[in-house]
Amino acid sequence: MTELTAARLTAQQLSGPRAGHPEEVVTRLLAVQGQDPRAARLSFRSRSSGLTAADVDASLTQQRSLLITWLNRGTLHLVTADDYWWLHPLTTPQLTTANRRRLAQLGVSPEQTRLGVQVVTDSVTTEGPQTRRQLRERLRAAGVPTEGQALVHVLMASTLAGMVVRGPVITGEHAYVSVSEWLGRPPPPLHLDEALSRLARRYLAGHGPASDRDLARWAGITLGAARRGLDVIDDELVRREDDLVDLGGREPASPLPPPRLLGAFDPLLLGWVSREAIVGAHQQVVTSNGLFRPVALVDGRVVATWALADGLVSLTPLAGIPRAVLAALRLEAEDVLRFLGLPPKPCVVLRGSA
């Protein structure tokens, strides 16, 4: 299991050479879960050297090379602008039915949904980037329900229609933008086999070794589609004795990384059907409502959860932590504050066991 963990940590860019710019991280991982803005940015810190959260915001806002939208499992993901064009048609059609059903449950009729998508599209096209608050006001004025979760699902319907994405950061919030205005002319569409093979290849680059079920779960596609993608690139794959596959020609796995603090929803906990090799008996790092807590990783295993409040990192051990490891985690905590642009403070405060 250590060999498999080392290989996956290397694929995840948590060990070995670290990234030098935000696009490199996202290209390796293909998609970073993005519903928690701070957590998504912390995924960059643990895989790069010298970057800051402001660098990620610059890629989203000035370079327009990154964006956030609903993809894969029906969750917001951060991807490169280039990958959006083929990931969107491949992973979102299966989300439309669930989105319509949820809108109906929330009291939004099909007619109101169509009107809402049109209002959102017209707003970002004529007025430029729009925050959620601004779009809520426009939808309310048009008679489209926005109470509770209705606003989120109307916005989701607008992204599934291919009209808008989350782009620049404005006063700390990701604003919605027109796909055509923000990203420009789309490239030629991919044939299905080409898209599935690209998905399989790119998934393995950041998650291999893995199985067809791992790919299907991560991308939110059918098992048959995942197998088709892997079959198309079969001559590029290495099949292992444990029935997992990986891309051929990889460099050997790097040694396990030094102690690391990973943010909530880190890709390491979301990339495969089973996360037992990483969390072991500590399944409580994933809460019953699907929240993935920030964790401390030591020798490739989760040993603690952590939190950041009032500029202070607090650590809740799940197992005994040697003094030397704790010292390394203090340095990690200092780097978390540096990355987020927060004033340095003494770290780490220990809390009781989880």
- Averaged pLDDT in 10-residue chunks for the chain of 354 residues: 91 96 98 95 97 98 98 96 98 95 97 98 97 97 97 98 96 94 96 98 98 98 98 97 95 95 96 94 81 94 93 90 93 96 78 58
> Which tokens is 214 given?
């791992």
* Whether the Cβ atoms of residue 177 and residue 124 lie closer than 8 Å to each other: yes
Long-range contacts of 100-103 (CB under 8 A, 24+ apart): 100/157, 102/149, 102/153, 103/150, 103/153, 103/154, 103/157
* Whether the Cβ atoms of residue 303 and residue 296 lie closer than 8 Å to each other: yes
Amino acid at 34: G
Which residues of the chain form beta strands (DSSP E)?
A: 32-33, 66-71, 75-80, 164-170, 173-178, 237-239, 245-247, 260-262, 295-298, 301-309, 312-317, 349-350
How many residues belong to the chain? 354
What distance, in Å, lies between the first and last C-alpha atoms of the chain? 25
User: How confident is the model at residue 349, as a pLDDT?
Assistant: 63
> Which tokens is 128 given?
């430029």
Give burial (CB, 10 Å; 0-12/13-18/19+) of 225.
buried
**Alpha-carbon span 69 to 211, nearest angstrom:** 26
Identify the DSSP state of 286: B
User: How confident is the model at residue 288, as a pLDDT?
Assistant: 66
User: How confident is the model at residue 346, as a pLDDT?
Assistant: 67
* Whether the Cβ atoms of residue 251 and residue 219 lie closer than 8 Å to each other: no
**Alpha-carbon span 34 to 301, nearest angstrom:** 23
* Whether the Cβ atoms of residue 117 and residue 158 lie closer than 8 Å to each other: yes
User: How confident is the model at residue 286, as a pLDDT?
Assistant: 83
User: How confident is the model at residue 319, as a pLDDT?
Assistant: 84
Give burial (CB, 10 Å; 0-12/13-18/19+) of 73.
middle
* Whether the Cβ atoms of residue 23 and residue 312 lie closer than 8 Å to each other: no
**Alpha-carbon span 304 to 317, nearest angstrom:** 4
User: How confident is the model at residue 337, as a pLDDT?
Assistant: 96
Q: Which of 314, 305, 313, 309 is nearest to 284 (CA)?
A: 305
**Alpha-carbon span 269 to 24, nearest angstrom:** 20
Domain with CATH 1.10.10.10 in the chain: 192-247
| pTM for the predicted model, two decimal places | 0.94
The domain defined by 192-247 carries CATH number 1.10.10.10: yes
> Which tokens is 136 given?
């809520």
The residues pairing with 286 across neighbouring beta strands, listed in sequence order, are 292
* Whether the Cβ atoms of residue 325 and residue 296 lie closer than 8 Å to each other: no
Neighbours of 223 (CB within 10 A): 12
> Which tokens is 305 given?
């959860």
**Alpha-carbon span 73 to 218, nearest angstrom:** 7
User: How confident is the model at residue 283, as a pLDDT?
Assistant: 85
- Give the distance from CA 169 to its chain's centroid: 17
